[in-house]
Amino acid sequence: MRIAVTGGAGYIGSHTCTLLLAAGHDVLIIDNFNNSKSDVLDRIEKVAGVRPRINQTDITQADALSAVFSDYRPDAVLHFAGLKAVGEAVENPLEYYRVNVGGSVSLFQAMENVGCNKIVFSSSATVYGDPDQVPIVENHPLRPTNPYGQSKRYVEKILEDWGQANSNLAAVNLRYFNPFGAHPTALLGENPQGIPNNLMPYVAQVATGQAAELLVFGDDYDTPDGTGVRDYIHVMDLAAAHLKALDLTVRKAGVKAINVGTGNGYSVMQMINAFKRASNREIPYRVVDRRPGDIAECVADPSFAFELLGWKSELGLERMCADAWSYQNSLK
């Protein structure tokens, strides 16, 4: 198939592109390199043996995007492009809605113009907000607590509405839990610019000595050791879920939301210890107050993904930490 991959130069998109190319798909990455670098294309090529096409377009530029679609005429779209920092979204909600919602609408319009009706969208477990119970099932109420999460919810809703109007639309909203890890070759991984927002990239920087200590945000949650519990998923497992979701769009029209997690929850302390084992380094930490807006626990019920896609996670915590550590060392 001819697959347009928005945000394909980013962390999750680049890993997914390696699998798409290896499966024989023709891949066009559409990325403005706002949060990635063009050398990722060489790395994808090294891993997959094939170089993806690239078009450096901003998804919010509707006319330019439509021109790319008229030229490439994709069979399907994987839509990763967007902004993803929760704190930044709280400070600048309009920019998050402009890029994440406005950019998505431009994209859907460009798809409609060329009769492309298959899409897999990068949603997030953040659409659930503070869950009533864990593990979380897809029909749990959606109550995102910040503009980033709202932007994901709105895009899901726009796809639902588009699906009501167009019975040929096949859309899969993949609700990722907490992606972590790197490509086993250490050629691809997550290399955030500046101070990392998320726990594990920060832990990796403490392990190398780039950051002095980790701040643990609260140890008084109602969890076994008091620290926050999350469902960390290996980025290669997540990438594999996209190929299964793409298969579903070929088999069936309709709009579906699917959790992509492992079903296993680990606390901040468990993650620190797992990374200590993988890196054989000390991870100094200090417990501080809770981070505003954080929740105690967020763990997927991944059974719908297995039922509908035949997908389940295969790579465990040790592998996530080992691959992330190899990648971190490769950056030196």
Chain center to CA of 242: 10
* Binding partner of 199, given ligand NAD, ligand WQD, none, CB within 5-8 angstroms per partner class: ligand WQD
Tell whether residue 238 is a contact of ligand WQD (CB under 6 A).
no
CB count, 10 Å around CB of 115?
8
Q: Out of 217, 219, 303, 319, which residue is the one contacting ligand WQD (CB under 6 A)?
A: 217
CA distance 68 to 263: 39
Q: Choose one: 5-13, 18-26, 157-165, 268-276; the region binding ligand NAD (CB under 6 A).
A: 5-13
Tell whether residue 124 is a contact of ligand NAD (CB under 6 A).
yes
By CB under 6 A, the residues from 84 to 123 that bind ligand NAD are 84, 99, 103, 122
The catalytically annotated residue of 11, 96, 97, 148 is 148
By CB under 6 A, the residues from 158 to 187 that bind ligand NAD are 176, 179
Of 117 and 227, CB closest to ligand WQD: 227
Q: Choose one: 16-24, 98-106, 194-202, 242-250; the region binding ligand WQD (CB under 6 A).
A: 194-202
By CB under 6 A, the residues from 60 to 79 that bind ligand NAD are 60
Amino acid at 21: L
Of 75 and 95, CB closest to ligand WQD: 95
Amino acid at 59: I
Angle at the Cα of 114 (from 109 to 115), degrees rounded to 5? 90
In the complex, what is the shortest distance from the CB of residue 78 to ligand WQD, in angstroms, rounded to a whole number?
A: 16
CA distance 252 to 157: 19
The beta-strand segments (E) located in the chain are: 2-6, 26-30, 53-55, 76-79, 118-124, 170-176, 178-180, 214-217, 229-230, 232-234, 254-260, 266-267, 285-288, 297-298
In the complex, what is the shortest distance from the CB of residue 144 to ligand WQD, in angstroms, rounded to a whole number?
A: 9
The 3-state secondary structure of 233-267 reads EEHHHHHHHHHHHHHHHHHCCEEEEEEECCCCCEE
Of 194 and 209, CB closest to ligand NAD: 194
CA distance 208 to 297: 28
Q: Choose one: 31-39, 157-165, 209-217, 226-234; the region binding ligand NAD (CB under 6 A).
A: 31-39
DSSP 331: T
Sign of the torsion angle spanned by Cα atoms 250, 251, 254, 256: negative
Binding marks (x or -) toward ligand WQD, 51..90, rule CB under 6 A?
---------------------------------x-x----
Q: Out of 3, 4, 5, 12, which residue is the one contacting ligand NAD (CB under 6 A)?
A: 12
Is 237 in contact with 178 (CB distance < 8 Å)?
no
Q: Out of 185, 198, 270, 330, which residue is the one contacting ligand WQD (CB under 6 A)?
A: 198
Q: Choose one: 29-37, 43-51, 89-97, 110-118; the region binding ligand NAD (CB under 6 A).
A: 29-37
Active site residue 202: no
Pairing of strands 266-267, 229-230: antiparallel
Sign of the torsion angle spanned by Cα atoms 88, 93, 95, 96: positive
Chain center to CA of 9: 12
Binding site for ligand NAD (CB under 6 A): 6-7, 9-13, 31-36, 58-60, 80-84, 99, 103, 122, 124, 176, 179
Active site (catalytic) residues: 148
Binding site for ligand WQD (CB under 6 A): 84, 86, 124, 126, 178, 197-199, 202, 214-217, 228, 230, 268, 291, 294, 298
